[in-house]
Amino acid sequence: MRPTVLLFDVDGTLVTTGGVGRRALTRAFREAYGREDACAHFSFDGMTDRAIARNGLTAIGVDVTPERIDALLSDYVRFLREEIARGGRQGYIVHAGIPEALAAASGRNTIALGLGTGNLREGAMAKLEPVGLHDRFTFGGFGCDAEDRAALIRRGAERGAETLGHPLEACRVVIIGDTPKDVDAARAMGAQCIGVGTGGFTAEALAEHGATWAFPDLCAPGALDVLLDG
């Protein structure tokens, strides 16, 4: 079988976390700039952590520098861990079909199972730990790799190919995500995309945007087949 790299988005695809990320980022802006409204007027759907920080700084009139983004995100990760510890699994959802999909993919030595997420690596693992999914992924493309989603997805695909011992060009790459930005990132590198309607967009909207396949969730008929075998 063709070696396959699967890259799963985190928020809205693997899990919904009950808003811990937004609460942590609000605290980070309050700590650094005394403002709680920096990110109040835009959606985080499909955005990278660095892009969210940039937009928030711009919204409150702060000059954006890499150093300010780094400092803000360092505080964010600290507050994220506190918010998760405070709430535990309250508000968490592991989306339908995810445990079965991960188990099936992990059972094949021709598949490399990774993350493709705008979260910082540390933040992604913190979000997945309460539901025991953090140790299912040994690599990925993360928001700390690049601010641009397409670039970080490519980096995750490269790491997956390295894990399999094949050049990227020889691998089937599949992005699994819940937003049009996931679809765009997949198309930018010529990868396949499975859109799942478990976040803020329906399967129909993701199909219209250009997803290779789109399902309400990974329990839907045919979803596991295309995930594993195309």
CATH value at residue 115? 3.40.50.1000
Per-residue pLDDT tens over the stretch 155-166? 999 999 999 999
Backbone angles phi, psi at 105, to 5 degrees: -65, -40
pTM: 0.95
Cα–Cα distance measured from residue 134 to residue 81, given in angstroms and rounded to the nearest whole number: 14
Asked whether residue 11 falls in the same domain as residue 25, the answer is no
* pLDDT (0 to 100) of residue 76: 98
216 is in which domain, residue-wise? 4-17+92-229
Domain-ending residue, one of 52, 87, 122: 87
Asked whether residue 108 falls in the same domain as residue 199, the answer is yes
Domain tally, the chain: 2
Asked whether residue 10 falls in the same domain as residue 78, the answer is no
- Residue 142 is encoded by which pair of tokens? 């993360």
* pLDDT (0 to 100) of residue 1: 80
Asked whether residue 163 falls in the same domain as residue 174, the answer is yes
Domain-ending residue, one of 62, 87, 112: 87
Asked whether residue 81 falls in the same domain as residue 138, the answer is no
Asked whether residue 46 falls in the same domain as residue 145, the answer is no
* pLDDT (0 to 100) of residue 89: 78
Strand 15-16, strand 93-94: pairing: antiparallel
Asked whether residue 99 falls in the same domain as residue 159, the answer is yes
**Contact by Cβ (8 Å): 92, 215:** no
Asked whether residue 185 falls in the same domain as residue 211, the answer is yes
Cα–Cα distance measured from residue 66 to residue 68, given in angstroms and rounded to the nearest whole number: 6
Asked whether residue 158 falls in the same domain as residue 185, the answer is yes
Q: Which of 21-30, 70-79, 80-89, 106-115 has the lowest mean pLDDT?
A: 80-89
Give 200's pLDDT tier (boundaries 50, 70, 90): very high
- In percent, the amount of the chain with pLDDT more than 90 equals 96
Cα–Cα distance measured from residue 71 to residue 174, given in angstroms and rounded to the nearest whole number: 33
Residue 40 has pLDDT above 80, yes or no: yes
For position 27, which CATH number holds?
Answer: 1.10.150
**Contact by Cβ (8 Å): 182, 46:** yes
Asked whether residue 49 falls in the same domain as residue 136, the answer is no
Residue where the block lists tokens 């060009």: 169
Q: How buried is residue 33: exposed, middle or buried, by Cβ count under 10 Å (0-12/13-18/19+)?
A: middle
* pLDDT (0 to 100) of residue 155: 98
User: What CA–CA distances, in Å, run from 185 to 76, 148, 193, 197, 210?
Assistant: 25, 9, 9, 17, 11
Residue 74 has pLDDT above 90, yes or no: yes
Asked whether residue 24 falls in the same domain as residue 81, the answer is yes
Per-residue pLDDT tens over the stretch 104-134? 999 999 999 999 999 999 999 999 999 999 9
Asked whether residue 10 falls in the same domain as residue 24, the answer is no
Give 151's pLDDT tier (boundaries 50, 70, 90): very high
Cα–Cα distance measured from residue 28 to residue 169, given in angstroms and rounded to the nearest whole number: 41
Domain-ending residue, one of 87, 111, 132: 87
